[in-house]
């Protein structure tokens, strides 16, 4: 299977090319520019450098959420536009599951944390089997950080944290775990299109859907929607 992969679900913008079990190349950037300005130029340059024609792709693999609402929308628009132009489908990859593939050698449980603001995180709990396949112990959702940390107490293994939430709430994690705290090193901590490729390859062709059927998984309403609801409640009170 040959894939073009995109991840714009966080601060990092990333694209990758996957062909027959190999990552031919990845381009990642986390420096000021917006995803709408970087994704497609990065992909064009990467395709040229690895001699890959987009028409060769069987699908567009895209980090489907949760994550930044704006980033997810940009990634979805880019993926759908390319898929429709190329006449191929989209392979949605949950962001939290893809993140786990940045640390697939870890032997304990893995807890990706994405900062959802207001002391909440997008998070799930996972581990890799001895055969190397990802196991979902607790599916991803939006919840208070403290609630997720309490859930982790049910697992005897040591836990590795990934994602920007491990930066945003590092103080709380250090207070809870002390010298037993494990946070992935920076080059493994954040979203990666190569990791999207690896998870997409495991999900397989059966996970490919029509471009018109794809929509990001936000897991909760946007801040603007929540603020509007609160304002309406105040007006009705």
Containing structural domain, residue 110: 96-189
Q: Do 201 and 211 share a structural domain?
A: yes
175-191 average pLDDT score: 96
Q: Do 65 and 133 have their domain in common?
A: no
Q: Quote the tokens at residue 73.
A: 């929308």
* pLDDT tens-place string over residues 93-151: 999 999 999 999 999 999 999 999 888 999 999 999 999 999 999 999 999 999 999 99
Domain-located, residue 116: yes
- Asked if 57 and 3 touch (Cβ cutoff 8 Å), the reply is yes
Identify the CATH number of the domain in which residue 37 sits: 3.30.420.40
Q: How confident is the model at residue 224 (pLDDT cuts 50, 70, 90)?
A: very low
Element (DSSP H or E) covering residue 81: helix 69-86
Instruction: For residues 118 and 175, state if they share a domain.
Output: yes
Statement: residue 196 has pLDDT above 50: yes
Task: Kindly state whether residues 127 and 179 are assigned to the same domain.
Answer: yes
Quick check: 71 pLDDT over 90? yes
| pTM summary value | 0.91
The label of the residue with tokens 């990845």 reads 26
**Residue 198 within a domain:** yes
Contact by Cβ (8 Å): 127, 80? no
d(CA 61, CA 160): 25
Q: Which residue has the tokens 């694209």?
A: 15
Note the pLDDT tens digit of each residue in 9-63. Answer: 999 999 999 998 999 999 999 887 789 999 999 999 999 999 999 999 999 999 9
| Residue 46 contacts residue 40 (beta carbons within 8 Å) | no
- Considering the domain architecture, whether residues 10 and 116 belong to the same structural domain is answered as no
Q: What is the mean pLDDT of the chain?
A: 93
């Amino acid at each position: 299977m040959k894939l073009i992969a995109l991840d714009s679900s966080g601060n990092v913008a990333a694209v990758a090319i996957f062909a027959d079990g190999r990552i031919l190349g990845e381009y990642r950037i986390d420096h000021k520019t917006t995803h709408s300005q970087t994704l497609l130029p990065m992909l064009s340059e990467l395709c040229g450098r690895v001699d890959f024609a987009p028409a060769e792709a069987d699908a567009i693999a895209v980090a489907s959420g949760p994550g930044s609402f704006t980033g997810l929308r940009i990634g979805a628009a880019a993926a759908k536009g390319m898929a429709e132009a190329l006449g191929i489908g989209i392979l949605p990859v949950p962001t939290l599951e893809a993140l786990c593939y940045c640390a697939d050698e870890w032997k304990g449980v893995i807890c990706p944390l994405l900062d959802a603001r207001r002391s909440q995180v997008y998070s799930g709990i996972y581990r890799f089997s001895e055969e190397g396949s990802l196991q979902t112990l607790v599916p991803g959702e939006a919840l208070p950080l403290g609630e997720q940390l309490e859930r982790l107490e049910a697992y005897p293994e040591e836990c590795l944290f990934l994602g920007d939430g491990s930066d945003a709430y590092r103080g709380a994690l250090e207070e809870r775990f002390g010298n037993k705290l494990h946070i992935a090193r920076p080059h493994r901590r954040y979203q990666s299109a190569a990791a999207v490729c690896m998870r997409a390859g495991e999900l397989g062709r059966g996970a490919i859907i029509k471009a018109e059927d794809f929509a990001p998984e936000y897991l909760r309403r946007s801040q603007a929607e929540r603020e509007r609801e609160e304002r309406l409640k105040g007006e009705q009170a």
